[in-house]
Structure 1
Amino acid sequence: MESEQSGGTITATSANPPMNLLFVEMGVGYDQHGQDVTSAAMRACRDAISSNSIPAFRRGSIPGVSFEQMKLLIKLGVPHSLHPLLDIEKVKSVFPYGKILNVEVVDGGLICSSGVHVEEMGDKNDDCYIVNAAVYVGY
Structure 2
Amino acid sequence: MACVPNSSMTLLFVEMGVGYDQHGQDVTSAAMRACKNAISSNSIPAFRRGSIPGVSFDQMKLQIKLGVPRPLQQTLDLEKVKSVFPYGRISNVEVVDGGLICSSGVEVEEMGDKNDDCYIVNAAVYVGY
Q: TM-score, normalised by structure 2?
A: 0.97
Root mean square deviation, CA, Å: 1.2
* Alignment-derived partner of residue 79 in structure 2: 89
Tell me, yes or no, if structure 1 residue 46 matches structure 2 residue 36: yes
Q: Secondary structure at the match of 1:100?
A: strand
Q: Secondary structure at the match of 1:65?
A: coil
Q: Secondary structure at the match of 1:23?
A: strand
Tell me, yes or no, if structure 1 residue 125 matches structure 2 residue 118: no
Tell me, yes or no, if structure 1 residue 26 matches structure 2 residue 26: no
Distance 1:38 1:71 in 2: 22
Q: TM-score, normalised by structure 1?
A: 0.90
Alignment gaps of 5+ in structure 2: none
How far 1:83 moved relative to its partner? 0.4
Tell me, yes or no, if structure 1 residue 3 matches structure 2 residue 3: yes
> Would you say how many aligned residue pairs link Structure 1 and Structure 2?
129
Give the alignment of 1:50-129 within 5 angstroms: 50-129=40-119
- Higher relative strand content: 1
Distance 1:95 1:38 in 2: 14
* Alignment-derived partner of residue 14 in structure 1: none
Percent of aligned pairs with the same residue?
84
How far 1:4 moved relative to its partner? 7.4
How far 1:59 moved relative to its partner? 0.1
Distance 1:115 1:70 in 2: 41
Alignment gaps of 5+ in structure 1: 12-17
Distance 2:121 2:61 in 1: 22
> For 1:56-81, what per-residue CA distance to the aligned partner results, in whole angstroms no more than 9, with x for missing partners?
00000000000000000000000000
Distance change >3 Å, CA 128–CA 4, structure 1 → 2: closer
Distance 2:102 2:4 in 1: 33
Give the number of the structure with larger relative contact order, counting CA–CA contacts within 8 Å between residues 6 or more apart: 2
